[in-house]
């Protein structure tokens, strides 16, 4: 069971792109792997939470308007019961600026094996420094 869950999350991460300008997040397939009432917290603590497929779609499409070259690189993955945790070294180009960043993402799966909650733990000050914005500006950009 653990291997299936981990493979599911590997596939989910691959759907965001291969790091080239030509690939874009595969929104329909991404949403198809999420429960109807799924929640995504962009960063913990204090980041915005998007709940439900309509809100998730809107946030993914919003990010696609200014980010490209997405690549979610799993370094380590571990799971137990319905929780899968990944240590990642991700890459994206945001508003023309390369934004490599490290994070831990926690995925909760429901009884159907779909993602019901997804939380990302990362250093927002690091991203703000790379982008030339403040953590507060990042909150405002995310609609919070």
Domain spans of the chain, in order of start: 2-141
Round to the nearest angstrom and report the end-to-end CA distance of the chain.
37
In the CATH hierarchy, which fold is given to the domain comprising 2-141? Answer: Nuclear Transport Factor 2; Chain: A, (3.10.450)
Going from the C-alpha of 23 to that of each of 20, 29, 53, 71, 103, the distances in angstroms are 6, 14, 22, 10, 22
In angstroms, rounded to a whole number, what is the distance separating the alpha carbons of residues 89 and 38? 24
Per-residue pLDDT 10s for the chain (144 aa) are 789 999 999 999 999 999 999 999 999 999 999 999 999 999 888 889 999 999 999 999 999 999 999 999 999 999 998 999 999 999 999 889 888 889 999 999 999 999 999 999 987 676 666 666 555 555 555 554
């Amino acid at each position: 069971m653990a291997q299936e869950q981990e493979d599911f999350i590997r596939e989910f991460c691959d759907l965001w792109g291969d790091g080239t300008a030509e690939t874009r997040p595969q929104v329909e397939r991404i949403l198809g792997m999420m429960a109807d009432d799924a929640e995504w917290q962009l960063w913990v603590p204090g980041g915005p939470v998007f709940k439900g497929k309509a809100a998730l779609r809107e946030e993914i499409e919003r990010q696609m308007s200014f980010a490209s070259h997405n690549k979610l690189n799993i370094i380590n993955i571990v799971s137990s019961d319905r929780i899968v945790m990944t240590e990642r070294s991700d890459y994206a180009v945001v508003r023309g600026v390369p934004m490599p960043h490290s994070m831990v993402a926690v995925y909760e799966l429901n009884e159907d094996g779909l993602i019901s909650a997804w939380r990302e733990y990362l250093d927002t000050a690091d991203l703000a420094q790379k982008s030339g914005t403040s953590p507060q500006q990042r909150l405002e950009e995310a609609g919070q």
